[in-house]
Amino acid sequence: MDLSLFDYQLPKELIAQEPSEKRAESRLMVYNRSSDIIEHTQFKNINHYLPKNAQLFRNKVSVLKARLFGTRKTGGAVECLLLNPAENSDTWWCLIKPGKKTFNARYFENANNFEAEVLKTNNKGHYKVRFTLLKDSSVIELANRLGKMPLPPYIQRAQKDARDALDSERYQTVYADSKKPLAAAAPTAGLHFTHELIAELEASGHTFHDLTLNVGIGTFQPIQVDKIEDHKIHSESYEISAQTIKALRTPKNGLRIAVGTTSVRTIESIITKLNEEDFDIKDDDPAISAETNIYIYPPAEFKAVDAMITNFHLPKSSLLCLVASFLEPKGTSGIKTLKKLYNEAIRNHYKFYSYGDALLIL
């Protein structure tokens, strides 16, 4: 299937540079697949569109303030993006700018905060960095104290920006678990929820179930091959409890709604894994941790997701392929529907991407 089918033209002004003034006042497009009806509202009104007793599955991962800044001994500036721990808590795989110069220099530092040694590089362009901490007990503690949010490249920020505090609050879901701080990007469909909206939904009979997928920087990488089937998707780690698995396997009267594509990937990965291994899960079983490189593109079958909340995604991305698949499971006409929805969003001046507006697919 040709990659050009998943391309579209977006006016630059529709790329959200900041979140809506209030989380739940972002816009929401609602699309009903059975009736082919599109409606426009605000996210705070989502309760009016959900079927009774909906089960919402959300990604509780926390975004690490992973952008650190330092200097080489020659005085050159270095930007380091923490990706994931290597063999111990003080050694991490990172992205570095400038990579080659810093690798050749071997060392960079941030005075009175840390010293860093670049140990090696791999074929992905990642660098293994060992940190010597001068104030903090862990690299995570250092990042939370000194780092900046790892905003995607289409959100423009200066190194020191007046919106840093806003980003620290709003590029994080209100239900993020601070004990799971390994996401390099936010699960953005969840950014629209507030504590008040969650309480309203629960009071109406809806339930929330938690999982974790450590969203990696690969989520921003466009597909680089002409045929989408040839794309090699990135791998991400996830964790899901026995209770959440039970809710997926034995849904009650309501629909199973994935909050975001990261939740979809986790759900479809774990259900596929359990089906293949004929796994029996008991309530007191420990959480399952695994890696997934699941790649969902048309035509695709969804085993445990009945509805989805998502943002509007980058052209030529694997996430756009996933959404197109969900618009018509087991078929390919969802690509046409996807273009209709995105054209409608552009005509109505919706905001796109991480800080943008939302789409509910029923």
**pLDDT tens per residue across span 285-299:** 899 999 999 999 999
Question: Please, are residues 330 and 300 in contact by the beta-carbon 8 Å criterion?
Answer: yes
pLDDT at 181 over 90: no
Q: Model-level pTM?
A: 0.94
Pairing of strands 207-213, 55-59: parallel
Task: Read off the pLDDT of residues 94-107 as tens digits, 9 standing for 90 and up.
Answer: 999 999 999 999 99
CA distance 188 to 358: 9
Which CATH superfamily does the domain covering 67-147 fall into? Answer: QueA-like (2.40.10.240)
Is the pLDDT at 319 greater than 80, yes or no? yes
Segment holding 64, helix H or strand E: none
**Out of 3.90.1150.10, 3.30.420.10, 3.40.1780.10, 2.130.10.10, which CATH number does the structure's domain 3-63+171-361 have?**
3.40.1780.10
With a CB cutoff of 8 Å and minimum separation 6, the contacts of 281 are 242, 245, 246, 249, 274
Q: Which helix (H) or strand (E) holds 268?
A: helix 261-277
Is there a contact between 314 and 220 (Cβ–Cβ < 8 Å)?
Answer: yes
Q: Residue type at 137?
A: S
Given pLDDT bands bounded at 50, 70 and 90, which one contains residue 88?
A: confident
Q: Which two tokens mark 249?
A: 């396997």
Domain boundaries, the chain: 3-63+171-361, 67-147
Q: How are strands ordered across the β-sheet holding 288-292?
A: 37-42, 27-32, 358-361, 307-311, 256-259, 55-59, 207-213, 236-240, 288-292
Whether the pLDDT of residue 253 is over 90: the answer is no
Question: What tokens appear for 220 in the block?
Answer: 């921003």
pLDDT digits (tens, 9 = 90+) for 100-140: 999 999 999 999 999 999 999 998 899 999 999 999 999 99
The residues near 315 (Cβ < 8 Å, ≥ 6 apart) are 6, 7, 8, 10, 222
Distance of CA 186 to the CA centre of its chain: 5
Q: Is the pLDDT of residue 164 over 90?
A: yes
Q: Which of 19-33, 58-72, 143-157, 275-289 has the lowest mean pLDDT?
A: 275-289
Does residue 30 carry a pLDDT above 90? Answer: yes
- Please report the DSSP string for 11-46 in residue order: -GGGB-SS--SSGGGSEEEEEETTTTEEEEEEGGGG
